[in-house]
Amino acid sequence: MSESGIENLLQEDRLFPPLADFVATANTTQDHFDEAAEDYEAYWMRQARERLSWFKEPTVALNDENAPFYKWFEDGELNVSYNCLDRHLDAGGDKVAYHWIGEPGDKRTITYNDLATEVNKFANGLKSLGVERGDTVAIYMGMVPELPIAMLACARIGAAHSVIFGGFSADAIVDRVEDAGSKLLITCDGAWRRGTIVPLKESCDEAMSRTELIENCVVVRRTEQDVSMQDGRDVWWHDLIADQADTCAPEHMNAEDLLYLLYTSGTTAKPKGIMHTTGGYLTGVATTHSQVFDLKPGSDVYWCAADVGWVTGHSYIVYGPLTNHATSVMYEGTPDFPDKDRLWSIIAEYGVTILYTAPTAIRAFMKWGVEYPERHDLSSLRLLGTVGEPINPEAWMWYHENIGGGRCPIVDTWWQTETGGIMISPIPGVTATKPGSATKPIPGIFAEVVDTEGDPVPLGGGGFLTITKPWPSMLRSIYGDDDRYVSTYWSRYPGRYFPGDGAKFDENGYIWVLGRVDDVMNVSGHRISTMEVESALVSHPSVAEAAVVGATDDLTGQAIAAFVTLRGDAQGSDELHEELRQHVADKIGAIAKPKSIIFTPDLPKTRSGKIMRRLLRDISDHRALGDVTTLANADVVQAIADQQTEYDDD
């Protein structure tokens, strides 16, 4: 073991070479990798010029004079809304931009012409309320078409947007409005979630009572329940746009002008306002959306089953797909309402060809059982993707076999809010895939796994993921806090971006992201990734999902505490407890054997689907539980705590 790295315990030898039909028609080939390796600035300049429409083409790709405050294409001028809409209209305005499905079953088909009309009218509406170039607009909405319309309208007039996930509390709205200085807030009366109404306007009313910054609140009528509307401040969306012109000239924006702020969740500290600018960001998401998903705009029906409130939605529901003239599916609700086959029924109805979803969702599908996807014809699918966190090899295989029918490549993507777009991923037609590995950096991205001293680890070693060169879609800073930007991302390994993730570098030169460094356990001097132990547990046929944390232990420093949800009719028992402990030992070694295993019907998760291991550590160490208001299933926390107490008593 290297004392300066992370243990590489779990081995994966299954390899899936590129499929012949993808090789023959791939958007991206080895030539792209070679071109980027030879001169990556020239490579990104070509992507920017060929994929985007510029009012003034850039002449310089990268300005690194004030590193790490890098600038891309800074003498270029463009407009994001123009790139997503106007340039498509003459030849392809009648093409469907979004097939939208509401949770109750209502549907809308929105063409590029429709979208352009609505964006222009709402952009004029924003102007009528005094929104100007350089302002920041807060958006707190459900998954309705008016959300991307609002984002594009802001971009059209040169106002930055700050989208706040519709599951957050009034506290989160206040924090983000005041940090960004937003004077206008856009929301809905409510949002549908599992057949009930999430009272969005009510949360906004509470937030607006605690900040004096908001001058106007625009409200979309979605659920049609009664809401409070304050005269002079609140205005209905439909009233605002009723008499607006359907044309609005796009502002000519500098490539380095702010496009949006997106705040990290801030569960343990003040939220960080991640800054993304115009030209570099759009270059990055347009390029990666085309390359990673092998998008064929003329035939593909693409579905990113995320929420626009997260960066995944910004980049791969709104800006990437629309820039590439794609047809997308957008769904309002949850995958288990009214039944656990909702996603599969939508895929069958619309002939979805590309599905991009989260490992957390895939593990939920595993737990529910194959009977649900088997109800529907999924033969239209040709490519699958995963996003949000590392995927367990067995979940990868389940996805491959039961959703992809063994015929669809899986692009396991690693990236962050901060990176703006995908950084590490297989490329269909080029990369042989391994279950659980994001494989290698895409063309124009350069990454290394290093030890604590910053030296690259050898093949088979474990350590810390770093990005060695700047890239166009990167964050420019943390809003209002340049010092925090430098100290958070650039200080640990000078000259390198450190995302905070552990990783290993396998014998084939593939990168395996192991999750946050905070999720590495120190057991008797061995640094063990939670992801590897979780993967070993999920490989057992009775286990659907697992979360592992390091619990304080007087003897070993930390002991491994596991929380497990079971598949189907499997039942927790003392016998299964011991069987699972031995299963982990057999898979990756006795040092990784969990000391305790708690069986639970669910795990505490944020509304984006991420497991809140911090709360599980608190439960394991009998600490007071922190804020649980951002969880999708807050009630499960106390149930797990009660089971932990029973386990300790035994």
pLDDT in tens, 512-539: 998 777 666 767 656 677 877 888 899 8
16 bridge partner residues? 433
What is the reported pLDDT for 358? 92
Using omega within 30 degrees of 0 as the cis cutoff, is the peptide bond preceding 68 cis? Answer: yes
State how far the Cα of 310 lies from the Cα of 230, in Å rounded to an integer. Answer: 29
What was the pLDDT predicted at 629?
58
**Distance between CA 536 and CA 559 in Å, rounded?**
17
Report residues of the chain scoring pLDDT below 50.
Answer: 1-3, 266-268
CA torsion 423→428→432→434, rounded to 10°? 60
pLDDT at 519: 66
pLDDT value of residue 8: 61
Burial 286-313 (b: 16+ CB within 10 A, else e): bbbbbbbbbbeeeebbbbbbbbbbbbbb
Q: Verify cis geometry, omega within 30 degrees of 0, for the bond prior to 104.
A: no
* Residue 189: both structure tokens together: 């009366």
**Predicted pLDDT at 608:** 63
Long-range Cβ pairs for the range 483-488 (8 Å, 24+) = 484/272, 485/68, 486/68, 488/272
Strand partners, 549: 561
Q: Which residues pair with 565 in a beta bridge?
A: 545
Report DSSP letters for 36-73, one per residue: HHH-HHHHHHHHHHHHS--SB--S-SEE-TTTTS-EES
Tokens of 24: 């023959």
Question: Which of 500, 382, 504, 363 has its CA nearest to residue 438?
Answer: 504
Report which residue type is found at 260: Y
Encoding tokens for residue 444? 């124009």
The pLDDT, as a whole number, for residue 72 is 98
Model confidence pTM above 0.75: yes
| pLDDT at site 201 | 98
Given a contact cutoff of 8 angstroms between Cβ atoms, the answer to whether 418 and 489 are in contact is yes
CATH code of the region 540-649: 3.30.300.30
Domain boundaries, the chain: 540-649
- DSSP-assigned states of every residue in 185-246: EEEES-EEETTEEE-HHHHHHHHHTT-S---EEEEE-SS-------TTTEEEHHHHHTT--S
Q: What's the pLDDT at 534?
A: 87
Note the residue count of the chain. 650
pLDDT of residue 267: 40
Sign of torsion over alpha carbons 393, 398, 401, 404: negative
Look at residue 268 in the predicted model and tell me its pLDDT.
44
